[in-house]
């Protein structure tokens, strides 16, 4: 079986930076907590827990030590609350997310209605909305848009991991309801590159494997994109989720991974899939032995 690994896959710049700084912090400090899981990858967060990182969901449960703001960022309100306490803040908000927060705050203060194209339940989007006093209208599908609502001035931004086609479609629809429109395509470069590589590989293979947390937004987008091109797309978190029996029928398999998937998980999957033919032969030999 031939295996093609997408050129741009795995840890992005923002996740890499968050991981490195967090590992440094837990090596030299005591009582380090992350506000929410550091990244959307269970294997990585389990490992960080073993190394000493606490994960909290409510800032009122912490009064001292160091608190890590993960790459998704947080609202202005929570930032202010944390700053007023005796807590050291290690702000690892991805610079691309911080840029969106600043833009949203600037145009909100200039009287624009903020529109975010993204998932209203995702921590990055919740955080961004917190820089315009939670006033943004958030659209994740055509059905979310109320065409009877007319706007004077709108400023549209995207969740960093949004699929560009969807961003374009929803921005075009909502733009028709406003007198003045500013559109900022704030999908980050790492996302663009991963989505482009995923498309390229998916169009050249019989099946695709997308590796990444089941709750990871950017991984889910890769799965969506891959399925549009290659219907036999499998979303897995680790090598243990591979279904070798199903995969053995394919000649060429593509592999990609979300921005919060570490290299060691990708390598394990690539090795196992590359060795499927050997593994299946071994299994057949074992079965034949038991039949003799
Ligand atoms: Fe930052 Fe983009 Fe990664 S926003 S955290 S570089 S997916």
Domain boundaries, the chain: 2-9+189-281, 13-94, 96-183
Q: Whose CA is nearest to atom 1 of ligand 1?
A: 14
C-alpha 201/C-alpha 209 separation (Å) is 11
How far apart (Å, rounded) are the C-alpha atoms in residues 15 and 257?
A: 13
Alpha carbon 250 to its chain centroid, in Å, reads 28
Token pair in block for residue 142: 């055509």
- Asked whether the beta carbons of 233 and 169 are under 8 A apart, the reply is no
54: exposed, middle or buried (C-beta count within 10 Å: 0-12, 13-18, 19+)?
middle
In whole angstroms, give the CA distance from residue 195 to residue 199: 6
| pLDDT of amino acid 50 | 96
Q: Specify the ligand 1 atom closest to the Cα of 12.
A: 3
Q: What is the CATH number of domain 2-9+189-281?
A: 3.40.1010.20
Distance 17 CA to ligand 1 centre (A): 10
| CATH of the structural domain 13-94, one choice from 3.40.50.1370, 3.40.50.11270, 3.90.1300.10, 3.20.20.30 | 3.40.50.11270
CA 84, CA 99: separation in Å to the nearest integer?
Answer: 23
| Closest atom, ligand 1, to C-alpha of 94 | 1
Instruction: Report pLDDT for 215.
Output: 87
Rounded to an integer, what is the distance from CA 164 to the centroid of its chain? 15
Q: Which of 90, 64, 71, 67 is nearest to 17 (CA)?
A: 71
Q: Which of 160, 192, 196, 217 has most ligand 1 atoms within 8 Å of its beta carbon, as the pocket-test mutant?
A: 160
Token digits of residue 276: 């499927």
Contact residues for 199 (Cβ-Cβ < 8 A; gap 6+): 225, 226, 229
**d(Cα 276, Cα 284) in Å, to the nearest integer?**
12
Q: Which residues are paired to 187 by β-bridges?
A: none
Please give the pLDDT value at position 87.
93
Active site residue 124: yes
Report how far ligand 1's centroid is from the alpha carbon of 282 (Å): 42
Q: What is the pLDDT of residues 240-250, one digit of tens each?
A: 999 988 999 99
Query: Comparing 13-94 with 96-183, is the CATH topology the same?
Result: no
Q: Report the complex ipTM.
A: 0.98
Taking CB atoms and a 6 Å cutoff, what residues make up the pocket around ligand 1? 12-15, 71, 94, 96-97, 160-161, 188, 190-191, 218, 259
The CATH class, in words, for 96-183 is: alpha beta
How far is ligand 1, taken at its centre, from the CA of residue 289, in Å?
51
pLDDT along the chain (292 residues), means of 10: 94 96 95 95 94 94 92 96 92 98 98 98 97 98 95 98 94 97 97 95 98 92 96 96 92 96 96 85 75 65
Choose one of 8, 36, 186, 259 to mutate for the ligand 1 pocket test, by most ligand atoms within 8 angstroms of C-beta. 259
- The residue to mutate among 14, 102, 256, having the most atoms of ligand 1 within 8 angstroms of its beta carbon, is 14
Query: How do residues 188-212 score in pLDDT, each as one tens digit?
Result: 999 999 999 999 999 999 999 999 9
């Amino acid at each position: 079986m031939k295996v093609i690994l997408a050129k741009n896959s795995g840890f992005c710049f923002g996740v890499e930076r968050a991981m490195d700084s967090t590992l440094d912090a837990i090596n030299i400090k005591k009582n380090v907590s992350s506000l929410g899981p550091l990244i959307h990858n269970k294997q990585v967060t389990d490992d960080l827990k073993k190394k000493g990182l606490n994960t909290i969901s409510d800032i009122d449960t912490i009064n001292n030590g160091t608190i890590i703001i993960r790459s998704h960022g947080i609202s202005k309100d929570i930032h202010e609350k944390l700053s007023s306490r005796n807590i050291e803040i290690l702000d690892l908000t991805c610079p691309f997310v911080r840029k969106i927060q600043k833009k949203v705050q600037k145009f909100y203060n200039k009287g624009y209605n903020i529109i975010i194209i993204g998932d209203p339940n995702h921590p990055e989007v919740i955080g961004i909305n917190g820089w315009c006093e939670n006033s943004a209208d958030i659209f994740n599908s055509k059905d979310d848009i109320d065409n009877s609502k007319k706007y004077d001035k709108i400023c549209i931004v995207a969740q960093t991991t949004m699929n560009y086609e969807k961003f374009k479609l929803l921005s075009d629809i909502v733009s028709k309801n406003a007198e003045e429109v500013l559109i900022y395509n704030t999908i980050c470069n790492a996302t663009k590159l991963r989505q482009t590589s995923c498309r390229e590989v998916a169009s050249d293979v019989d099946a695709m494997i997308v590796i990444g947390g089941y709750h990871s937004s950017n991984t889910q987008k890769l799965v969506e994109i891959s399925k549009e091109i290659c219907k036999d797309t499998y979303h897995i978190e680790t090598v243990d989720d591979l279904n070798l029996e199903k995969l053995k029928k394919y000649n060429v398999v593509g592999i990609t991974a979300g921005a919060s998937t570490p290299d060691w998980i990708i390598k394990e999957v690539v090795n196992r899939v590359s060795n499927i033919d050997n593994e299946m032969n071994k299994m057949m030999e074992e079965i034949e032995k038991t039949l003799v």
